[in-house]
């Protein structure tokens, strides 16, 4: 879909729904604004609530390329932006020497675009892009402050300077989605440049819809019970609360075991799909567990 | 405009100026340099470069206009909003009041010698200023009139000369023996003045926090990773022959610190001084997260960066509702583990808990949460002010429960113990402390005998004495 076709917030909401992403109106509004104003969108929220998914869905909606940059500690220019192809450069110099080329020619050639390896950020602002790509900067909190500072410049001007070539400016400003799990505070300077949205855990009804949209063919009764059970779990005092990703994962586990509704035994056996800490498993075991199951079973 | 005075080793050996010259505004650059020197002395970063810049800038304004002159000086020399008050004060002192003192002094015999001394602020002023720098905003406002008062008093007082003689002894004019006594004295019996002295002493200490290797590399003369980009550039001149190699090495950064402070009752004083201490050794708390708890846990990191330590703690203490309820360390740590651990304990953080271990909460909660906390941090240090007294044994239920999960158990009742802490923090490296059952049992047995049986953290090569 062309970006100009997304003229209202409802358009955005509908388009995302068509890609099986159920967005709140507030999220749709933020995405809409990010598209219209071409501002980066900073998404935060608990793990597994669908932050990364927003970028994927958006690239599908817009029918453009998704360029993904997974952050990690120590990520730097050579892995995120560009790098020279050193081996090729060396070989080329050898060839040129043999051919008797002059020094200035040599320099001009080996620091040309042919020898440049484009990393995600440079790909995103490549002037050759005919359509603005979606740039996903995933888990920015994993990178370090130095990289964040570098991003500041990129996100405000959408240009990158390579000393040997010059400044590269994006013709089509990319749609930038940044996600963070808050294992480190993102600096205020970066936050200021972005639109911010906190993706919360979905309501019971919304989660049910998500399950139906994502897993067509799931028995409705099972879907309702699962959502109700997960909701109960989230209200318990857990160290790691299960997200939507875990819910979907759990349902497929139950389906693999041919379950049509929640039964205590199989639920216990598959709890590992939902809870990822032994402390949490112990905590919800026992009478509390039976109560949750009963409550979930009573839903449908 | 006249040339800058020649640097001949000792700046103070320059000819003392005749008052008449000063009056006529001659040798302005000399005065400017002198002013810069005074600013530098009170902690405003004024280097030669800034002074040269200023001299250049002054060409563009009418320096006979007092206001323009002031503004020019201010915008050229000042770079931080926080230092504005100090700058104004010094401006007033130097360009208005000092001139008059100088006049008076010139008549007296031995004026030249005193003029040299005058370059430094008199100790009384410096003391005031140092306090001022550490004092909360509301106290700062009324400093200027007070300063004028003291100036008047000082001018009337002939003993001021003797005062100046003391100037060279110790940083804040404290005698060595006084410092010694101060270092050993329990914070609880400190008077307000002594607290201020202690803060000033802390401000003079120099430490670095323990470093951790990052995944980032930086160019270096020698290192373990070839710097391909630079290698190609450098060796272009040799054709494709790699003759000169350049390297990159791992970059180190200070480890993040997380401080969790008990602020119930007398703990509030110890916590405040600890925060002051950490403030001085951590480059303005850039890498520090701070939390306080009474009955519930509050994060004060942001307040601390913007405002004074005392202010922040006072604010929180006010909001603590239930004083009689006592400390619930377990609940506070539970909240920390749930809400904050994932956000602030990344990258090998060192956690400091300061508390006397009087826990009114559930011991089993405390145990679970201590276990979890120790697992998620690089080093868990418990500071207990009571540990300073030789008779103290960690026998309260809270302390007993927590002990097995602590990597270091230290007192924090006087300056000496904080210095020990500083030395320990500086030496924390990549190695993990032993956390198996045997090591735990041994440590707990040792700690249960009281502090005197512990080894002291003296690390060779580390500064551990106060500057004298």
Q: Which two tokens stand for residue B393?
A: 């044994």
E strand or H helix at B383, and its extent? strand B379-383
> Is the pLDDT score of B215 beyond 60?
yes
Q: What is the CA radius of gyration of chain B?
A: 27
Q: Region A46-54: what's the mean pLDDT?
A: 92
The dihedrals phi and psi of A41, each to the nearest 5 degrees, come to -115, 120
DSSP B188-203: GG--HHHHHHHHHHHH
A172 and A52 share one domain = yes
- Residue among A78, A90, A184 minimizing CB distance to B346: A184
Q: Under 8 Å CB-to-CB from B228, ≥6 apart: which residues?
A: A84, A86
Q: DSSP letter at A174?
A: P
Nearest to A74 among B214, B342, B346 (CB): B214
C-alpha distance from residue B112 to each of A26, B90, B102, B152, B166 (Å): 75, 22, 10, 22, 19
Angle (CA) A11-A14-A19 rounded to 5° is 125
**Which of A199, A224, A240 is where one domain is finished?**
A199
Q: A272 and A221 share a domain?
A: yes
Q: How far is CA B266 from CA B67, B271, B279, B433, in A?
A: 49, 9, 20, 31
Average pLDDT over residues B88-109: 67
Contact between residue B301 and residue B290 where contact means Cβ atoms under 8 Å apart: yes
Q: pLDDT: is B168 or B100 the higher one?
A: B100
Beta strands B350-354; B379-383: pairing state = parallel
Residues of B in contact with A73 (CB under 8 A): 214-216, 347
Per-residue pLDDT, B174: 52
User: Is residue B52 predicted with pLDDT exceeding 90?
Assistant: no
Interface contact B236, partner A, CB < 8 A: yes
CA–CA–CA angle B413, B416, B417 (5° rounding): 50
Shortest Cα distance from A87 to chain B (angstroms)? 10
Query: Across the interface, do A97 and B240 touch by the CB < 8 Å criterion?
Result: yes
**pLDDT at residue B311, as a whole number:** 73
Q: Give residue B268's pLDDT.
A: 75
> Helix (H, G, I), strand (E, B), or coil: what is residue B362?
coil
As a whole-number percent, the residues of chain A with pLDDT over 90 amount to 51
The reported pLDDT for the residue numbered A44 is: 92
Tokens of B278: 């950490």
Helix (H, G, I), strand (E, B) or coil at B420: helix
A144–B342: do the CB atoms touch at under 8 Å?
no
Same domain assignment for residues A141 and A260? no
The pair of three-digit structure tokens given for residue B179, joined into one six-digit string: 């410092």
- Reported in sequence order, the residue ranges of chain A that DSSP labels E, i.e. its strands, are 41-45, 66-70, 82-84, 116-118, 134-138, 159-162, 166-169, 175-180, 195-199
Same domain, A181 and A147: yes
For the four alpha carbons of A127, A130, A132 and A137, in that order, the dihedral sign comes to negative
pLDDT at B435: 81
Kindly report, as residue ranges, where domains of CATH 3.40.50.410 are found in chain B.
255-453
Task: Please give the Cα distance from A288 to B7 (Å, whole number).
Answer: 81
The predicted pLDDT at position B351 comes to 92
Residue with the bigger pLDDT between B229 and A81: it is A81
Does one domain contain both A175 and A74? yes
> pLDDT tens digit string along B257-316?
898 988 877 777 787 788 777 777 666 556 788 888 877 788 888 777 766 677 767 766
| Chosen domain end from A173, A199, A225 | A199
Q: Which of A185-189, B1-5, B176-180, B300-304 has the lowest mean pLDDT?
A: B1-5
Are B239 and A93 a contacting pair at CB < 8 A?
yes
Query: Which residues of chain B neighbour A184 with C-beta distances below 8 Å?
Result: 343, 346-347
- The residue of A48, A144, A147, A283 whose CB has the most chain B CBs within 10 angstroms, and thus the best one to mutate to test that interface, is A144
State whether A147 and A74 are in the same domain: yes
Let me know the angle formed at the C-alpha of B215 by B211 and B217, rounded to the nearest 5 degrees. Answer: 95
pLDDT band at A163 (very low <50, low <70, confident <90, very high): confident
* Nearest-angstrom CA–CA distance, B11 and B333: 56
B18, two tokens: 């005749």
CATH of B255-453, one of 3.40.190.10, 3.40.50.1220, 3.40.50.410, 3.90.1150.10: 3.40.50.410
Give the model's confidence band at B102: pLDDT under 50 very low, under 70 low, under 90 confident, else very high.
low
A190 and A229 both lie in a single domain: no
Q: Are B278 and B248 in contact (CB under 8 A)?
A: no
Instruction: Tell me chain A's radius of gyration from C-alpha atoms.
Output: 24
| Integer Cα distance of B103 and B111 in angstroms | 10
- B184 touching A, CB under 8 A? no
Q: By CA distance, what is A147's nearest residue in B?
A: B216
Q: What is the pLDDT of residues B403-457, one digit of tens each?
A: 889 988 888 888 888 888 888 888 888 877 778 888 888 888 888 876 554 544 4
Q: Which residue has the higher pLDDT, B99 or A241?
A: A241
Mean pLDDT along residues A235-251: 91
Q: What are phi and psi of B257, to 5 degrees?
A: -115, 135
Q: What is the dihedral of CA B82, B86, B92, B98, to 10 degrees?
A: -160
What was the pLDDT predicted at B425? 83
A97 interaction partners in chain B (CB closer than 8 Å): 239-240
Measure in Å the smallest separation between the Cα of B52 and chain A Cα atoms: 31
CATH number at residue A170: 3.40.50.300
Phi-psi region at A256: left, alpha or beta (left = phi > 0; alpha = psi -120 to 50): alpha
Token couple for A120: 């995600």
| Cα–Cα dist B182/B197, whole Å | 8
How far is it, in rounded angstroms, from Cα A192 to Cα A42? 10
| The predicted structure's pLDDT at residue B420 | 82
A185 contact residues in B (CB cutoff 8 A): 343
Mean pLDDT of B128-149: 44
Pair (A54, A126) in one structural domain: yes
Under the banding of pLDDT at 50, 70 and 90, the label for residue A176 is very high
Percent of chain B with pLDDT over 70: 65
Burial B406-441 (b: 16+ CB within 10 A, else e): bbbbbbbbbbbbbbbbbbbbbebeeeeeeeeeeebe
Q: Is residue A9 part of a domain?
A: yes
Helix B28-41 to helix B84-92 angle, to the nearest 10 degrees?
Answer: 130
Q: Range of A71's domain?
A: 3-81+119-199
B265 SS3 class: coil
Domain shared by A73 and A157, yes or no: yes
- Could you tell me if A71 and A152 lie in one domain? yes
Beta-sheet pairing, A175-180 with B225-226: unpaired
Would the CA dihedral through B162, B164, B168, B169 be positive or negative?
positive
pLDDT tier at B463 (50, 70, 90 boundaries)? Answer: very low
Q: Cβ–Cβ of B372/A239 closer than 8 Å?
A: yes
Count CB-CB contacts under 10 A for residue B318. Answer: 8
Q: What is the model's pLDDT at position A31? A: 92
User: Taking CB atoms and an 8 Å cutoff, what residues of chain B touch A89?
Assistant: 232
SS3 content of chain B, % helix, strand, coil (to 5): 55, 10, 35
pTM above 0.95, yes or no: no
Q: Give me the phi and psi of A53, to 5 degrees please.
A: -60, -35
Residue indicated by tokens 């480190």: A184
DSSP B451: G
Contact residues, chain B, for A83 at CB < 8 Å: 229
Please, what is the angle between helix A9-18 and helix A25-37, to 10°? 110
The residues facing B212 across adjacent strands are B253
User: What is the pLDDT, as a whole number, of residue A49?
Assistant: 92
Q: How many domains does one find in chain A?
A: 2
Contacts of B223 (CB under 8 A, 6+ apart): B217, B247, B248, B249, B250
Cα–Cα distance for residue pair B467/B436, rounded to 1 Å = 40
Measured between beta carbons, the chain B residues lying within 8 angstroms of A183 are 342-343, 346
Taking only the tens place, the pLDDT of each residue in B4-31 is 444 444 444 444 444 444 445 557 778 8
A204: pLDDT strictly greater than 50: yes
**Does the residue A109 lie in any domain?**
no
List of chain A residues whose C-beta atoms are within 8 Å of the C-beta of residue B236:
93, 106-107
Chain center to CA of A78: 22
Residues A191 and A230 grouped into a single domain: no
Cβ–Cβ of A73/B372 closer than 8 Å? no
For residue range A18-31, list pLDDT tens digits in order: 999 999 889 999 99
Tokens representing B234? 């450098």
For residue A104, what are the contacts with CB-CB under 8 A and spacing of at least 6?
Answer: none
d(CA B291, CA B304): 10
pLDDT band for position B360 (50/70/90)? Answer: confident
Q: What is the C-alpha to C-alpha distance for residues A298 and A292, in angstroms, rounded to an integer?
A: 10
Nearest-CA distance from A26 to chain B in Å?
Answer: 25
Give B36-65 as a DSSP string: HHHHHHTT----HHHHHHHHHHHTTS-TTS
Mean pLDDT computed over every residue of chain B: 71
Q: Is A289 domain-assigned?
A: yes
Per the CB < 8 A criterion, the answer to whether B413 and B186 are in contact is: yes
pLDDT, one tens digit per residue, over A118-150 is 999 999 999 998 999 999 999 999 998 889 989
What is the Cα–Cα distance from B388 to A45, expressed in whole angstroms? 44
**Does residue B219 surpass a pLDDT of 50?**
yes
Kindly state whether residues A140 and A224 are assigned to the same domain: no
pLDDT of residue A15: 94
Count other C-beta atoms under 10 Å from residue B405's C-beta: 21
Domain end residue (candidates: A199, A214, A229): A199
Q: What is the mean pLDDT of chain A?
A: 89
Instruction: Name which residue leads in pLDDT, B444 or A14.
Output: A14
- A112: in domain: no
């Amino acid at each position: 879909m062309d970006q100009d076709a997304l003229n209202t917030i409802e358009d955005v909401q509908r388009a995302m729904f068509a890609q099986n992403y159920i967005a709140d109106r507030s999220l749709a509004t933020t995405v809409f604004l990010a598209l219209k104003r071409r501002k980066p969108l900073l998404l935060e929220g608990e793990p597994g609530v669908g932050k990364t998914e927003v970028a994927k869905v958006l690239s599908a909606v817009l029918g453009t390329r998704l360029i993904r940059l997974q952050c990690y500690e120590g990520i730097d220019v050579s892995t995120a932006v560009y790098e020279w192809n050193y081996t090729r450069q060396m070989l080329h110099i050898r060839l040129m020497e043999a051919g008797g080329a002059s020094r200035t020619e040599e320099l001009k050639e080996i620091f040309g675009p042919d020898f440049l390896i484009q990393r995600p950020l440079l790909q995103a602002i490549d002037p050759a892009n005919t359509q603005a790509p979606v740039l996903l900067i995933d888990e920015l909190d994993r990178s370090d402050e130095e990289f964040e500072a570098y991003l500041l410049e990129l996100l405000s001007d959408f240009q990158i300077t390579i000393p040997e070539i010059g400044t590269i400016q994006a013709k089509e400003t990319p749609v930038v989605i940044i996600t963070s799990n808050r294992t480190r505070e993102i600096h205020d300077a970066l936050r200021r440049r972005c639109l911010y949205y906190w993706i919360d855990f979905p309501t019971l009804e919304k989660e049910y819809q998500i399950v139906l949209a994502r897993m067509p063919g799931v028995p409705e009764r099972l879907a309702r019970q699962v959502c109700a059970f997960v909701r109960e779990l989230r209200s318990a005092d857990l160290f790691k609360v299960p997200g939507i990703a875990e819910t979907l994962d759990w349902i497929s586990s139950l389906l693999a075991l041919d379950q049509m509704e929640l039964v205590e035994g199989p639920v216990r056996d598959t709890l590992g799909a939902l809870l990822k800490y032994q402390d949490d498993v112990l905590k919800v075991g026992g009478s509390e567990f039976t109560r949750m199951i009963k409550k979930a079973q009573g839903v449908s | 405009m006249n040339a800058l005075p020649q640097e001949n080793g000792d700046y103070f050996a320059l000819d003392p100026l005749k008052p008449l010259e000063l009056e006529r505004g001659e040798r302005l650059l000399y005065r400017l340099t002198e002013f810069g020197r005074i600013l530098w002395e009170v902690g405003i970063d004024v280097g030669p470069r800034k002074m040269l810049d200023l001299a250049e800038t002054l060409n563009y304004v009418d320096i006979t206009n007092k206001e323009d002159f002031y503004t020019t000086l201010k915008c050229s020399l000042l770079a931080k909003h926080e230092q504005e008050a100090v700058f104004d004060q010094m401006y007033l002192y130097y360009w208005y009041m000092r001139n008059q003192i100088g006049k008076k002094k010139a008549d007296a015999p031995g004026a030249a010698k005193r003029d040299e001394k005058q370059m430094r602020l008199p100790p009384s002023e410096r003391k005031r200023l140092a306090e001022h720098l550490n004092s909360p905003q509301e106290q700062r406002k009324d400093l200027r009139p007070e300063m004028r008062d003291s100036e008047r008093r000082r001018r009337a007082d002939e003993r001021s000369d003797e005062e100046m003689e003391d100037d060279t002894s110790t940083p804040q004019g404290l005698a060595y023996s006084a410092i010694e006594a101060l270092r050993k004295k329990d914070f609880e019996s400190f008077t307000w003045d002594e607290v201020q002295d202690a803060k000033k002493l802390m401000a003079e200490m120099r430490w670095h926090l323990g470093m951790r290797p990052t995944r980032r590399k930086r160019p270096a003369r020698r290192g373990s990773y070839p710097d391909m980009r630079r290698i190609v550039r450098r060796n272009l001149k040799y054709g494709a022959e790699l003759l000169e190699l350049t390297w990159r090495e791992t970059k180190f950064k200070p480890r993040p610190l997380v401080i969790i402070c008990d602020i119930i009752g007398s703990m509030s004083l110890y916590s405040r001084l600890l925060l002051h201490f950490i403030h001085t050794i951590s480059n303005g708390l850039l890498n520090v997260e701070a939390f306080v708890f009474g009955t519930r846990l509050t994060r004060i990191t942001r307040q601390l960066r913007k405002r004074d330590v005392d202010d922040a703690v006072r604010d929180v203490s006010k909001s603590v509702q239930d004083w009689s309820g006592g400390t619930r360390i377990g609940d506070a740590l539970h909240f920390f583990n749930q809400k904050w651990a994932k956000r602030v304990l990344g990258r090998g953080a060192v956690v400091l808990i300061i508390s006397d271990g009087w826990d009114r909460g559930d011991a089993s909660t405390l145990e679970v949460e201590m276990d979890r906390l120790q697992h998620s941090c690089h080093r868990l240090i418990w500071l207990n002010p009571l540990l300073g007294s030789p008779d103290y044994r960690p026998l309260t239920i809270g302390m007993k429960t927590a002990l097995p999960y602590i990597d270091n158990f230290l007192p924090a009742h006087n300056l000496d113990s904080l210095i020990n802490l500083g030395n320990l923090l500086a030496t924390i490296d990549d190695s993990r402390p032993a956390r198996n059952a045997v090591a735990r049992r041994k440590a707990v047995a040792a700690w249960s005998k009281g502090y005197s049986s512990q080894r002291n953290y003296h690390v060779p090569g580390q500064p551990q004495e106060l500057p004298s």
